[in-house]
């Protein structure tokens, strides 16, 4: 028996208005709930520096699960990072260490990521456990007579381009081009161009993302 066709009815203007109002209310409630954390952040930033204050507070807020946690983290990060777009999503267990980080429109950051000085451009997707510290030279280690912790280092902004996708467990130490896919478990040590697929340790370009793949050969009868 034929099933009746499914008719999709677009939401009405009233429904859209109610949805926007509900989101606005949730954002306001999140700001109220997170305000004590913001106050403690500003106080500690004055005493210890913004980086240390950010790391401890973002670790605290990373422990709140679900949609509520997403709203709380967004409310906090919008006021302490260089930029965090209202559409950015930061999942459970993710923390930030550098207030210079930038999250653009529709960025998605999966669970348990660690982010330093990073610019995630529009529509970037990070899977779980992705690590993006502030470049590959955060610690110098050339002097054999001194402990590494005493040798200093440098922080560099790492940019992940528009629409890139970073797979689970990848470590990104250099820029990733727009639309590029980095395979799970890869370590990016040198800049990657746009619209490629890269994998490995260190990550190397496998092919162009839009390169046609060969059709499978038919089995002999």
Each residue's pLDDT tens digit, 46-86: 998 999 999 999 999 999 999 999 999 999 999 999 999 99
Nearest one of 125, 41, 26 to 79, comparing CA atoms: 41
DSSP states of 144-206: TTS-GGGS------EEE-TT-EE-TT-EE-S-B-TT-EE-TT-EE-S-B-TTEEEETTTTEEE
Each residue's pLDDT tens digit, 121-132: 999 999 999 999
Helices (H), 49-181: 50-62, 66-80
Question: What domains, with CATH codes, occur in the chain?
Answer: 17-141+153-208 (2.160.10.10)
Each residue's pLDDT tens digit, 24-41: 888 889 999 999 999 999
- At 86 the three-state DSSP class reads coil
Is 153:168 a contact under the CB 8 Å cutoff?
no
Single pTM value for the model: 0.85
Which band of pLDDT confidence, cut at 50, 70 and 90, is reported for residue 220? very low
């Amino acid at each position: 028996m034929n099933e009746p066709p499914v008719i999709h009815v677009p939401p009405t203007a009233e429904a859209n208005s109610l949805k926007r109002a509900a989101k606005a209310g949730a954002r306001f409630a999140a700001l109220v709930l997170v305000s004590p954390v913001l106050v403690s952040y500003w106080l500690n930033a004055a005493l210890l520096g913004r980086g240390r204050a950010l790391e401890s507070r973002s670790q605290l807020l990373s422990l709140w699960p679900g949609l509520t946690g997403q709203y709380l983290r967004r409310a906090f990060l919008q006021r302490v990072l260089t930029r965090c777009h209202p559409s950015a999503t930061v999942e459970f267990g993710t923390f930030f260490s550098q207030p210079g980080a930038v999250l653009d429109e529709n960025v998605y950051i999966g669970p348990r990521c660690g982010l330093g000085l990073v610019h995630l451009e529009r529509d970037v997707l990070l899977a779980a456990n992705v690590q993006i510290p502030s470049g590959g030279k955060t610690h110098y280690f050339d002097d054999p007579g001194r402990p590494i912790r005493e040798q200093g280092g440098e922080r560099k902004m790492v940019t992940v381009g528009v629409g890139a996708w970073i797979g689970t467990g990848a470590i990104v130490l250099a820029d990733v081009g727009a639309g590029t896919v980095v395979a799970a478990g890869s370590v990016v040590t040198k800049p990657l161009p746009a619209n490629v697929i890269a994998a490995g340790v260190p990550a190397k370009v496998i092919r162009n993302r839009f390169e046609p793949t060969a059709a499978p050969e038919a089995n002999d009868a």
